[in-house]
Homo-oligomer: A and B are copies of this chain.
């Protein structure tokens, strides 16, 4: 499924570099678990992965305990390196925050499948709303739920 496939090289490299820079600037060190999680996210975190999924994607044996994975996820989020979406199943999912592109999500209510999409017109609407409300926008998320149209 497209949503889980590896990020293309450009996005991956750009994010990995940004992440490294910000983590260093924040005084974070390159421990085994953090490095493994960051690399995994750069490689496969283009669209919504849960902590459990990330853990199972870490190179087997390369470590990365549950606690460490959660801790890293929180640090990266605080540094603005991840986008987070809390699902109806009570599970939080994360994806890399690429400063140049970002997408939103459509959920097929029949299958539960989640697909990413982008729409410039929608982005403009959102900026106008934020402006009208007097908000300096830091992040935003849109989730569409429905079923694939037949005809």
Contacts and interface: CB of A to CB of B under 8 A. Distances in A.
B142 A142 contact: yes
Interface size class, chain A: 35 or more
A146 B138 CA distance: 5
Copies in the complex: 2
A140 B144 contact: yes
Nearest to A115: B133
Given A84-B88, A137-B146, A142-B142, 13 more contacts: A86-B87, A88-B92, A122-B126, A126-B144, A135-B144, A135-B146, A135-B147, A136-B147, A140-B142, A140-B143, A140-B144, A141-B142, A141-B143
A136 B149 contact: yes
A78 B132 CA distance: 34
A9 interface: no
